[in-house]
Amino acid sequence: MATALKPIGHEDRLTIVDHLDELRSRLIICVVTIAIAFGFCFWQNGALLNILNKPLKEATQTTKGSGRLAQAASAEQTVQRGLAATARAFGALATAPNLTAAQRREMTEAATQVGAAAQALPKTTPPRVPITTGVAEPFTVTLTVAAYFALLFSLPLLLYQAYAFVLPAFSPRERQIALPTMLMVPVLFVCGVAFAYYLVLPPAISFLQNFNSGSFDILIQARDYYRFQLLTLLSIGLVFQLPIGLLAANAVGIVSARQLRSIWRYAIVAIAIIAALLPGVDPVTTTIEMVPLLMLYGLSILLLEIADRRRGRHDKLATDGLHDGDEIEGS
């Protein structure tokens, strides 16, 4: 497995068996990495679930809205405040000077009982969390969340192993381009996940959960909620790879910066369609998702311009070198 610890040189020549052995070693490293990450994520599953529950807690409050759950929560807090006020009133009456000892004792006991009832009711509505309906659902949902986070945390090393495996096929010049590109993949993915978590999920969940809330008792199942969240995070993280895909297309001569500039109107329509196909069908989420896609399209044009200029300089140097060689042969 020593060959998997560092990339093989471009000049090295390996047999098919050697390539298969290297591939096996790298796959073993990937599996072990994911297993370790999964163990850590399952150990810290409570913290991970709190992270996923935070948008729901912040975007939906039971006391807001016109549904029966909101009405029940509001009535419960009203009762709590009324009992607390009654307890204070009984306590004040117990100190009146014209009461007998028995009456004073009754008022004190009444104040204590009413105060205890007021304390039993929550002063504020507890934050909402997803519900489970199956016997094994708490366990299976926790496993699923841990597996997704394990894959997310393992991504940088997985990408490095993929890069190290295909590295021998690159020339030294191609390697100078491939390395920054591979480093951009996890960076863009993390940026996409962060954008989805902080800017897409809260308004999306708020809109979807509070839409027409007066007609429903809105409860959200854990399996569906976490699937929606994780698919949104993963989808937007992958969509953020748009510059990488366009750079790869530019490297094989499919698209150029000039072409991207000429079709920007069609690109806006295509980006709107892509945003509509992502998880979260509401107009709020779709509009928010379009903003970074448009910015990434502009970034792609800039990167392709740089790549086109470098390719033009390299081709010019190669042409000049070829002409110099012809002149030397002619002399």
Q: State pLDDT tens for residues 223-258.
A: 888 888 888 888 888 888 888 878 777 776 777 788
CA distance 224 to 9: 47
Q: Which of 136, 137, 88, 96 is nearest to 114 (CA)?
A: 88
- Residue 6 pLDDT more than 60? no
The counts of H helices and E strands in the chain are 12, 0
Tell me: the pLDDT tens digits for 39-56?
999 999 999 999 888 888
Work out the percent of the chain whose per-residue pLDDT is above 70.
75
What are the tokens at 304?
């392709």
Lowest mean pLDDT across 111-120, 258-267, 322-331: 322-331
Give the pTM: 0.69
- Residue 59 pLDDT more than 80? no
Cβ distance 209 to 218 under 8 Å?
yes
At 143 the pLDDT is: 93
Cβ distance 58 to 205 under 8 Å?
no
CA distances from 215 to 61, 197, 207, 211, 252 (A): 16, 28, 15, 9, 55
Q: What is the mean pLDDT of the chain?
A: 76
CA distance 165 to 267: 34
Q: Which of 232, 237, 224 is nearest to 153 (CA)?
A: 237
At 42 the pLDDT is: 94
Tell me: the pLDDT tens digits for 84-119?
788 788 777 777 777 777 777 877 887 788 778 777
What are the tokens at 325?
């060689």
At 319 the pLDDT is: 62
Beta bridge partners of 131: 221
pLDDT higher at 70 or 95: 95
Q: Which of 292, 162, 297 is nearest to 237 (CA)?
A: 292
At 146 the pLDDT is: 93
DSSP state, residue 9: P
At 2 the pLDDT is: 43
- What confidence tier does 171 reach under pLDDT thresholds 50, 70, 90? low
Burial pattern 67-88, b for ≥16 Cβ within 10 A else e, equals: bebbeebeeebeebeebbebbe
CA distance 290 to 274: 8
Q: Would you call 240 exposed, middle or buried from its count of C-beta atoms within 10 A (0-12, 13-18, 19+)?
A: buried
Tell me the HSE value of 77 on the side-chain side, using a 13 A CA sphere.
12
Instruction: Indicate the domain borders of the chain.
Output: 68-120
